[in-house]
């Protein structure tokens, strides 16, 4: 298990909207990665909505939010658009 502020090697992953998320593109920001089991399920939707609704608070603290699940990019994009998530 990694601790808070533990260095992590750079990584890049495909993201929604045909973009790539790279850790190195966000140097100097606090990264909040939340893992969830499946897009568009009740618990995962509530969790994502909470991050969405509190995003201005996180942004003020120089944080970015990223959600990760095992679903495919098409599913992620549909979920993101349906829930009006402004984060990857």
Tell me the catalytic residues. 44
Q: How far apart are alpha carbons 54 and 59 in whole angstroms?
A: 9
Cα-Cα-Cα-Cα torsion 70, 73, 74, 79, nearest 10 degrees, comes to 70
At 24, give phi and psi (nearest 5°).
-65, -20
DSSP secondary structure of 70-81: SS-HHHHHHHHH
């Amino acid at each position: 298990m990694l601790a808070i502020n533990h260095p992590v090697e750079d990584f890049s992953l495909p993201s929604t909207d045909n973009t790539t998320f790279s850790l190195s593109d966000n140097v100097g920001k606090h990264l909040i990665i939340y893992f969830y089991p499946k897009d568009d399920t009740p618990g995962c939707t509530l969790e994502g909505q909470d991050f969405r609704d509190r995003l201005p608070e996180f942004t003020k603290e120089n944080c970015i939010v990223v959600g990760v699940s095992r679903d495919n990019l098409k599913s992620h994009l549909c979920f993101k658009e349906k829930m009006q998530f402004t984060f990857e």
